[in-house]
């Protein structure tokens, strides 16, 4: 049984950030579904740099067909010189710039390029991985300033793009998805005390179920792995 029965047969799925933990899981799970005709994997490891217009142009030109499903998984929380802030005094311009470049600007520019290519007259979905901590109204603990802000900005961009696309392509959905805490390198230093820790494959299957059941009325929303809407 196919994972995505709400889509028309012959589905072409494109995973952006396919070399990461969740990106690889999405790609593998989709590849294993015989009802999905093709899975394209984009990552810097495969030579596709979303921040480089020439690289992005070449990757788009090489697509075997317009994608019916796009899942953008790229994101950063910590790395050399970057970590979740615990106090206002720890905020730096470098952390903000890095977080926004990877978590916000890259996915938004990829979405802007791909949305016009996707088919009309049938369900298509572009989904980005966001986070509950990007919800402004749900922020009660503070901290993690640059990560929260970059995900909040991503949510707003998806919402804004969805409003325009609803006029241009009413069957097209844009979704910001919260995967829960997943056992990947991104969450590894912050897993202590987590009640529910998903494997990448479990998370991918949860989110594909959300994508499959989503309707145009949910386009532009932030939705968690259970299918529940998270307020902005």
Mean predicted confidence (pLDDT) in 126-141:
96
Whether residue 96 is predicted with pLDDT greater than 90 in this model: the reply is yes
Cβ atoms < 10 Å from Cβ of 170: 12
Helix (H, G, I), strand (E, B) or coil at 34: coil
pLDDT of residue 77: 94
Which tens digit of pLDDT belongs to each residue from 18-28? 999 999 999 99
Do residues 179 and 206 lie in contact, with contact meaning Cβ atoms separated by under 8 Å? yes
Residue 51 has pLDDT above 90, yes or no: no
| pLDDT value of residue 204 | 98
pLDDT (average), residues 27-55: 94
Task: Check residue 117 and report its DSSP letter.
Answer: G
Residue 190 has pLDDT above 90, yes or no: no
Rounded to whole angstroms, the Cα distance separating 108 from 154 reads: 7
Q: Is 13:44 a contact under the CB 8 Å cutoff?
A: no
Chain-wide mean pLDDT for the chain?
A: 95
pLDDT level of residue 81 (50, 70, 90 thresholds): confident
* Residue 82 DSSP label: B
- 76: CB partners within 8 A, 6+ apart: 82, 98, 99, 102, 103, 186
Q: CA torsion 55→60→62→65, rounded to 10°?
A: 170
pLDDT for position 187: 80
Enumerate domains of the chain plus CATH numbers: 11-224 (3.40.50.720)
Q: Are 12 and 24 in contact (CB under 8 A)?
A: no
């Amino acid at each position: 049984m196919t994972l995505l029965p709400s889509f028309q047969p012959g589905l072409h799925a494109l995973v952006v950030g396919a070399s990461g933990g969740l990106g690889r899981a999405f790609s593998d799970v989709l590849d294993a579904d015989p009802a999905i005709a093709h899975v394209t994997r984009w990552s810097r490891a495969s030579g596709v740099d979303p921040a480089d217009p020439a690289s992005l142009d070449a990757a788009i030109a090489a697509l075997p067909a317009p994608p019916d499903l796009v899942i953008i998984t790229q994101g950063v929380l910590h790395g050399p010189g970057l970590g979740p802030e615990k106090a206002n005094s720890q905020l730096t311009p470098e952390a903000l710039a890095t977080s926004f470049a990877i978590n916000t600007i890259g996915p938004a520019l990829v979405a802007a390029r791909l949305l016009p290519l996707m088919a009309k007259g049938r369900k298509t979905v572009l989904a980005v991985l966001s986070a509950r901590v990007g919800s402004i109204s749900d922020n009660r603990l503070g901290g993690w300033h640059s990560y929260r802000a970059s995900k909040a900005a991503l949510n707003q961009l998806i919402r804004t793009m969805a409003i325009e696309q609803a006029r241009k392509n009413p069957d097209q959905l844009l979704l910001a998805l919260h995967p829960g805490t997943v056992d990947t390198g991104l969450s590894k230093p912050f897993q202590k005390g987590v009640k529910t820790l998903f494997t990448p494959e479990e998370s991918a299957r949860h989110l594909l179920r959300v994508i499959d059941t989503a309707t145009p009325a949910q386009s532009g929303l932030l939705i968690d792995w259970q299918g529940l809407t998270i307020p902005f």
